[in-house]
Amino acid sequence: MYRQIKLFSMTLLILCSCVQAEEYTARRQQMIREIEADVLDTAAYIDKRALNPKVMEVMAQLPRHRFVPQKQQPYAYENRPLGIGHGQTISQPYIVALMSDLLHPDPGHRILELGTGSGYQAAVLAQMGAQVYTIEIIEPLGKQAADRFAELGYGNISTRIGDGYYGWESQAPFDSIVVTAAASHVPPPLIDQLKPGGRMVIPVGGGFQVQQLMLIEKQEDGGIKTRQILPVRFVPLTGSH
């Protein structure tokens, strides 16, 4: 009798897991549709009507619910930011997709991320084949993200606890750099660590105010070209600088 009950419980658990997996898949598809709608709504700002299909493919498969606290998991696939503790958030899926698209990531690219947070942005880029170096100043978040990367098998993400303003000089230069917190200005060390021909995406402006998402391109001669993409709202970049 005990064996029968145990087998029934295991079968029920498997069935529940399958149902939940199907539900998450459906929610991710809805999230993708909402991202596509946002792209069309902001086409005049971002100068495109569709994002890199590879970005969309990765985000349609990546389990965002694994990157948020348990109490937030029911909302994981809503197209909005969610709190992850310590006054920080996981960015709106549309913004993650747009920033990933703007970086032009290719397999083998070396990408620096400032502000690991939950690790979702880094995972999107790693899933696209990039080697990601990500820095988080809030130690508990950085450690949680590192554990999450290990659990999910991301061998192409390197983590560090520290002030991202100064970049990661020992691993430079980078093909691209993404900053997931608002800075009052573009940190000079990041410009120095960006390869000629490289791209940086960074929100610039005051903390907890409307900022501008900026695309910065480093020319082959070392010159800098900047472009405002669209208004955004990010938590502020922190540190001693």
> Which residue carries 């999230």 as its tokens?
31
User: Residue 58, SS3?
Assistant: helix
What letter represents residue 100's amino acid?
S
- State the burial class of residue 143 (Cβ atoms within 10 Å of its Cβ: 0-12, 13-18, 19+): middle
Q: For residues 64 and 55, what is the distance between their CA atoms, to the nearest angstrom? A: 14
- 182, 235 contact by CB (below 8 A): yes
Active site residues: 91
Q: Is 157 in contact with 134 (CB distance < 8 Å)?
A: yes
Per-residue three-class SS string for 118-143: CCHHHHHHHHCCCEEEEEECCHHHHH
**C-alpha–C-alpha distance, residues 129 and 141, integer Å:** 24
**Backbone CA torsion sign across 227, 160, 78, 26:** positive
Positive or negative torsion for Cα 49, 55, 58, 62: negative
Q: By C-alpha distance, which of 137, 135, 48 is closest to 97?
A: 48
CB 59 within 8 A of CB 124: yes
